[in-house]
Structure 1
Amino acid sequence: MYNVLIVDDERIIRIGLRSLINWEEVGFKIIDAVSDGKQALAVIEREKVDLILTDIKMPYMDGITLVQNLYERGFLGEIIMLTSYGEFEFARQCLRYGVGDYLLKGTLVPDELMQAVLKVQRKLDEKGEKLFEEEREDINNEQDLKVIERIFKTNHLEGENNIEKESLSMPYVFLLFKHVQSKAQKEKHRACTLEAYRESIENIISEAVPNQSIPRLFFEGEWGLYLFPKGYVEQKDVLHRISMHILNLIKLYTNIKIIGVISKVIYTSYDLRESLKKTQDVAELSFYKGYEEVLEEEMHILMKPYLGRSAQIVEERLHQAMNKGDYSEANNLLDMYMEEMRRSYVPKEQVEERLNPLLQGIILDYSIYLESDKSRLNELVESYRASTLLDEMQGLIKELIYMICTLILQIKNKNYRREIVEIMDYIEQHITEKITLNSIANQINMNESYISRLFKSETGMNIIQYINVSKMEKAKELLKEKNMIVKDVAYALGFEEQSYFNRMFNKYFGVNPKEYKKYTNLSQ
C-alpha cells in the first residue's frame, strides 16, 4: 500500500477526495487529511508519505511554499496539485519542484482522479524497483569493497596466496599509486605513510572525477588503491586522462613523489590478487621512467630476467679503466652496464644490490684520491642515497668516477721533467722495499731537500706521501690475492711492523687491511 496525504483548507474537498475513488482497490491508503502546508510537513516528519494531493491557496503555508519546502528536503514521493480556475500558471511554476500533475477541483470526476492516481502508481512502482536494485547493488558493492580491502591489505604478506576465487558483483578497474621515497627519506620519516595524505587525496579525487562524491580509497603503507566508478570501466582513454589529472594534483598539493598504475578490468578476487602483484611490479618502472606519466598493468610484460654481465666482472673492468685514469672507457663501461639493466627493467632493489657494492668498492679503493675533496664526496653519497631514479644514481656515480680519474691522471701523468719521471720510476720498481728520501737522492744523484721541493712543485704532492700512496695501492692488489695474509703483505712492501702498516692503510682507506681483504674476497 502507498500512503496518501490530502492537503486542502476546505473540509468538503477533503471529504470528497476521500470518497471519490476506491483508494485501496488501486493500492493506496489515505493516512491523513490536513488544512495547510505546516500541518502537512508535521505529518511527513512522522509518517512515510508516497502521494500528496495539495491545494494551492491555503492559510499559514500555501501549496507553492509547501512543494518548495519538500523539494529542498529531497522528498521522494509524488505530488498532485489541486487548482481552481485562474491558478494554472501557479501550478505550472510548481512543475520545477517535482509536481507530477495538476487537477481542476471544480470539474474533477472519479475517472480523471483514477487516471492520475494510476499514473502515480506506475511511477512509484518504477521508483521502488529502482530503489530495490540500488539497495541490492549497494549491498553487493559493500561486500565487494570488503573483499577488495582485505586482499589489498594482505596481498603483500606471505601465506595469502590461497585466497578463494570469489566473483565480484560487477567489473572494476583501479588506480594503484605509490608514494615513492628513497632509503634516506624512509630512515628520516619512518612513520610517514600515504594514508597521512588521505584527506587531501579524497578531496582531489572528488574534484577530478565527475559525479564522485566519496571516493572508494584504501591505503596500506606507501601504497594506495582507488576504485573507479563503474561507468568508467570500459573507457580506457578517459581512465588515463583522469588518472593523470589525479596524480598531477596530488603532486601539486602534497609535494610528494607519486606514481600511478591503471589495472586491467577485474571480475574476481583472483583477478584482483594477480592485478595487484603486477601493478605493484609495474610501479617500480618509475625508477626508469620518472613520475611524469601514468603506467598500465600491461607493461608488466616489459619486465624480464636480467641476463647481462655480473657485477663483479663490471667492477673489475671499471677499476682497470680507472686505474689508468681513463674516464672515457670507465664511462662507457658504466653506460653499457646500466643499459643492460634498463632493457630488462631490473627492479630497483636488485639494481641497488648491484650498484651499492659497486659504489662502496669505488670509494674504498680510491679513497686516497678523494682525500682532497671529502666534502664533495659526502655530498655525492648523500645525493645517491636520496635518489629515486636510475638516471640520478648513474649521474652521481659518473661524477665520482670523473673526480677519481682526474686525480689519478694528475698523479700518474709522467709528462714531468726528466728528474720527476726518474723518481716515479724508481719508486715503482722498488715498491716492495723500504724507500727513503736518501735512497732516491743517491739514485738520481741530487740533493734531498732539492728533490723534495722539486717533486712538490711539479706534482702538488709531498714525495713521502707519493711513496705511501703507491705502497697502499700495491697493498690493495696484494690483499686481493687469496694466498696472501695481511702480515705477508706488510712485509712484502717493506714495512718492519704490521701495526704501522695497519694504521697507514686505515688512514688512507678508512678500513683496516683485514676488513678490506674480507670484503674483496666476498665480492669475488
Structure 2
Amino acid sequence: MLKILIIDDEQVVRVYLQSIVNWEQYDCQVVTTCGNGIEALEVMAQQPIDLILTDLEMPKMNGLQLIEEIRSRGYQTKVIVLSDHSDYDLIREAMKLGALDYYVKNNVKEADIISMIQLVSEEVKKQLLQKDALEEEKRLKIDNFKIERKTFLTTVLTGDVYYNELELSQYVKMYHLFEPRLSLYQLRFQQPIELRQFLYVDAIIAAEFQKYDHDVVHLTQEKILVALYERTIVEEQVLMDHWLRIVKNIKTYLRAELQASKQLLIDSTEKLISCTKLFQNDVPSDVSSVIAAEQLSHYRPEIQSILNYIHEHYDERITLQDLSAFACLNEAYLSRLFKMETKKTINSYINELRIYKAKELLKSPNIMVKEVAQLVGIKDQLYFNRVFKKFCGENPTDYQDRVKKLVSK
C-alpha cells in the first residue's frame, strides 16, 4: 500500500485532493495532510512516506525547500508538485530537484490522480526491484567472502597449503582477521561422530554465536574448530558463557563425551604462522614458541564441570567445599588445578563472573544497586561495592549513572 502525504497551505485544497478519489481502491492511504513543509518533515520522521503531493508556494518552508530537505535526509519519497498557475520557472526547478511530475492544483481531476498513482506505483516497484537486486548482490559478496576466508584459514591451520609471509600478510589484510583479533576454540570428541551429528553441532554453535562473525571448521571426525572474528573485543566472561552453553547443549543432544578447549587468541601474522599444523593429529615438535606456551589445550573434565557449575549457580552462595564435593576432589588440589587451568583463583573467577552479570543488570535504569548485588549472589552490598570497584575501577552507582548518560545521548 502506497503511503501518501498531501501538503498545501490552503485547507480547501487539502480536503479536495483527499476526497477526489477513493484512494483505498487503488491500494493507497493518505496518511495525513499538512499545511507546510516543516509539518510534513515531522510526519516523515515518524514513518516512511512513498509519495507527497506538495504545493510549491507555502509559508515557513516552501515546496522547493521541502524537496531539497527530503533529498538531503536520504528519503526515497516520490514527489508530485502542485502550482496555482503555470509558473514554469518554479516547476522546472522542482523537476531538476527530482520531482516526478506536476499539476496545476485548481485543475486536478480524478483521472490525473489515477494516472499519478500508476506512475508512482511503477517507480516504487522499480525501486524495490533495484533494492532487492543490490541486496542479493551484497549477500552473494558476503557469502563468497566468508567461504574464501574460511578456506584460507582452514588451509593455514591444517598446513595443507604453504603461504610465504608476504602472501599471509596480504590475505590477513584482505580478510580483516586481526581487526582487532581472532579467537579459536576446539571441541574434541572421544569417539568419531557422523555427518548428521555434525549438522546438529553446527546448528548449536550457530544459535549460540549468532551475534558474532564466526566459522565452524570440521578438522576430523573427532575435532571441530570454531573461529570467532572479533570486530570489537568481547569480554572473556561473555564468551565463556556462550562456550559453556555450546558444550552443554552438544552433550545433551548428542549424548557424547567431549572436551572443550580454552580460548586461543591470535592477533598477529606471527602467531598465525605458528599455528600451521597445530590442528593436525600430530603436532610437530618444532612449533614456534609463540604458540607453544599457549597451545589450544583443553580444559580437564573436572574443571569443565566446575566452570559449568559456577556459570549456572553464580547467583547462589558458592563455597570451595561445595565445589570440591561436586567434583569429588580434595579442596587444596581443586584450588591448584583450577588456578593452573584458568590462571585465576576460584574466588577471583566467581567474582569476575558476578561483576560481569552485574554490569548487564545495571544497564537497566530503574534497578537498585542493592537489588543487583542480591541477584548476582553477593548479599553484602558494601562487599559488592568493593568487588565492583576492584574489577571496573568505579563504584556501581557511578557506572549506572554513566551508562544512563550514554543511553540518553
Which structure has the larger Rg?
1
Bigger helix share: 1
- Coarse TM-score class (shorter-chain normalised): 0.3 to 0.5
Question: How does the TM-score come out when normalised to structure 2?
Answer: 0.40
